[in-house]
Structure 1
Amino acid sequence: MGAGLLPPAGPARRLAAAQLTNALGDGAFLVCSALYFSRVVGLTAPQIGFGLTLGWAVGAFAGVPLGHLADRRGPRGVAALLAVATAGSVGLFLTARAYAVFLAAAVLYACAQSGLAAARQALLAGLVPPARRTEVRAHLQSTVNAGLAVGAALGGVALRFDTTAGYLAVLGVDALSFLVSAVLLARLPAVAPAPAAAAGEPRLAVLRDRPYALVSLVNAVLLLYMPLLSLILPLWIAGRTAAPGWTAAALLMLNTLSVVLFQVRVARRVDGLATAVRYVRYAGLALAAGCGGFALSASDGGAWAAAGVLLASTGLQVVGEMLLASGAWEIGFGLAPADRQGQYQGFFGSGVAVARTIGPLLLTTLVLGWGPPGWLVLGAVFALAGAAMGPAV
């Protein structure tokens, strides 16, 4: 990987290596998990959907207490332990042949992932000066996307052969990747634990911080873009457009490569809350424009015209995604107390779990049920949320 992808040598680069390692396993797991659960474990689609929704719903609440634990015990050790717990949850998926075991694994997986994200953010905040956190976070995002892309290609090999052994191998690699990540995290410099809350102060102060809760809510609304490429657009392309079947894969590739190549460049221009707010406002407009393009893709203009509109709209969507990420990282770090980054990052990051929990149901109803008008409503929501971030901050 080039110097533009990885952060400068030091703790930040080692943190990137830890995230790259588990991203490789995660990419393969994400591609193969649905077929593994259905063909090997023997679950129905509603059972899989309910289990994953339950897991991420619980995980949305787990980030704050686990982030608080990272503050109090030190984020390095807690991050390493949660990486091991994630590996354990994948191992539980490997042995799941009963629905109750699958549900337990889904809950453990989502909770460990949510807590791990909060602990890693706290670790980043402790190892990197405030002025460089957003740029380093962008390096990490680019690294993760590159790892996911390579992992997805490995998962594609398992899909090609479609055997139980192949699927089991993919899950084994994912579990191993988190164990290796745990070792890399444990070798990072230690960050001193935060002091205990003073008498009369709440331990989970973020739960009483209403302004921060509002900022986190606005961010969660904007994160509803997350299920678009993986779930909504493939179904939209197949059912509502004349675009070729390969278009969905092309859109995902365009998104992934764009983030890998340009996320760091976009984030480098964020130098404070004022810039971050402006970026989030622009992100809302770009996401809204992308939604407008997706609505147009249903027009009767032929296969290539539909594919072209979808590619252009995905370009707008990924611009919005990168602008939002850069602005949100600065806001999430900048408004959190220095000694409580773990619990605050856990709360701010819960927007990801919320988007994964309610996004698929909400967007399938809105977009696939309403058609082009649903895209326009979603675009208006993105534009309004982007404009609301300024007053919220």
Structure 2
Amino acid sequence: MARRPATLRRSLSAALFVRYLGAGVWAPLQVLFFVRSVGLSTSHVVLGLTAAGLAGLAAGPVVGRLADRFGPREVGIAGLVAQAGAAAALMTVRGMGGFLVVITLIALGRGAFPAISGALVAHVGGDDRVAFRARIYSLQNLAMVTGSLLGGLVLQADTRAAYTIAIGADVVSYLAAALLVARLPHLPPVPREHGVGHRYAMTDRPFLAVSLLAGVLVMFDVFLTVLMPVWIAEHTDAPRWTVSLIFALSCSLVVLCQTRVAKGVDTPGDGARTMRLSGPVIATAMLLVFAAAQVPTYVAMALLLVGAAVLTLGEMLFTAGEYALSFGLAPDHAQGEYQGVFAVGVGIGGAVAPTVLNALCLVAGPPGWFALAVVMVTAGALVPPVARVAERSRAAREPAAVSGTAT
């Protein structure tokens, strides 16, 4: 007897929660591990991580195609086990050469992960995949926050033994996630409809354009995690512990509200409208953060907290729209490949965001902040017309394409 969809969803949710828990432990430690324990310079570590991250984006479309061809369960298990091996290799790094090899292997695994998880969600989530993915995103934030608290204990200890334990926890999270994915039955590839030829996602220019616009908007993430701490510490009168308060507020709002925000966002048209709205919301939040540098301490704190809450609303709108578009604009038989390609567009945005935000917000001054706000609004406004082109392109290839025209 086939296992019930609810059981499959619980198994996949547990697998992803465990994996994000491990990621949460390791994420705040990786730079300090290479600097404090291995002895590399901070500049070399940052440069190496950036280069490896960009190289890792190439893995998504390739692994996604494998998942579409052989089934996401088997490819997911293999990918998680391979990533566990790459993470374990961190304990062998003694110099720059080993560092570059290992972080590139890890980056390739990270680049493949959105394609694997996206294909699994597309199969298990069924017609309700967007809402299911929103619930996963809430769990992801809860897991990452919990993991980061455990990582904080390692930072406090700051010893080789403590870093080794953290690496071991990350490896275990990969293997535990692989075991939980193994509980799923074989998820057979979705056959192409008769007369529908295969089109590589990297040649689907309208889809690529949507993913690149998403990459512009996703700079909100680096704005929150990288720019805001610097802005608060060096340009406002707010106490530095406001940074921790903002992170806690943002994660709590996502855990509590992401599913509600995503409710009713199902079709590509819904997703395009929601992502269009995220642009001005994100822009408003950024200007609130900028204004916090112009006022006294308590007003600055208030503006920063309100700005963080508004930014998180923009994040939740963006996320709901992202899922509806990435799933809805992809043919059912190529969900893995298309999720991998969408992750490339978003990943490029995340990779260039630190440089762009530094140039606009910290170097250019007030005109740069307003230019950034204009960029966010413009990127959001462009999503619906580009998504309409992508829908028409898919409909021309697949007569039974998803309904819900972007407006």
* TM band (smaller chain): over 0.9
Partner of 2:111: 114
Candidates 320, 325, 330, aligned match of 2:314? 320
CA contact (8 A) 1:296 1:372 kept: no
Partner of 1:85: 82
2:28 aligned with 1:31: yes
2:53 aligned with 1:59: no
2:372 aligned with 1:368: no
Instruction: List 4+ stretches of structure 1 deviating above 6 A.
Output: 196-200
Candidates 360, 363, 383, aligned match of 1:389? 383
Q: C-alpha distance in 2, partners of 1:200/1:18?
A: 34
2:274 aligned with 1:279: yes
Kindly provide the amino acid, as one letter, of the partner of residue 35 in structure 1. Answer: L
After superposition, the C-alpha distances for 1:327-371 in whole angstroms (9 at most, x for unaligned) are: 110011011011001110100112342133211122122212123
Kindly provide the amino acid, as one letter, of the partner of residue 275 in structure 1. Answer: D
Candidates 195, 204, 221, aligned match of 2:216? 221
2:288 aligned with 1:289: no
Farther-moved stretch of structure 1 (159-168 vs 149-158): 159-168
Task: State, as a whole percentage, how many aligned pairs show the same letter.
Answer: 36
Partner of 1:242: 237
Q: C-alpha distance in 2, partners of 1:307/1:388?
A: 33
Kindly provide the amino acid, as one letter, of the partner of residue 183 in structure 1. Answer: L
CA contact (8 A) 1:206 1:347 kept: yes
Q: C-alpha distance in 1, partners of 2:283/2:341?
A: 26
Partner of 2:173: 177
Q: C-alpha distance in 2, partners of 1:75/1:62?
A: 15
After superposition, the C-alpha distances for 1:185-207 in whole angstroms (9 at most, x for unaligned) are: 121122113559999966x6112
Q: C-alpha distance in 1, partners of 2:209/2:175?
A: 36
- Residue 43 of structure 1: SS of its match in structure 2? coil
Give ranges in structure 1 of 5+ residues lacking alignment.
1-7
Q: C-alpha distance in 1, partners of 2:31/2:326?
A: 32
Q: Give the TM-score normalised by the residue count of structure 1.
A: 0.93
CA contact (8 A) 2:64 2:340 kept: yes
Q: CA 1:270 to 1:199, structure 2 compared with 1: closer, same or farther past 3 Å? A: closer
Partner of 2:405: none
CA contact (8 A) 2:16 2:177 kept: yes
Q: C-alpha distance in 2, partners of 1:252/1:58?
A: 29
After superposition, the C-alpha distances for 1:38-79 in whole angstroms (9 at most, x for unaligned) are: 100111111111111111111122111111111111111111
Q: Give the TM-score normalised by the residue count of structure 2.
A: 0.90
Matches within 5 A, 1:192-211: 192-194=188-190, 205-211=200-206
Q: Report the Cα offset of residue 9 of structure 1.
A: 3.4
Q: C-alpha distance in 1, partners of 2:77/2:275?
A: 32
Q: C-alpha distance in 1, partners of 2:368/2:309?
A: 20
Q: C-alpha distance in 2, partners of 1:211/1:375?
A: 29
Q: CA 1:284 to 1:97, structure 2 compared with 1: closer, same or farther past 3 Å? A: same
- Residue 226 of structure 2: SS of its match in structure 1? helix
Q: C-alpha distance in 2, partners of 1:12/1:385?
A: 34
Matches within 5 A, 1:85-164: 85-130=82-127, 132-164=128-160
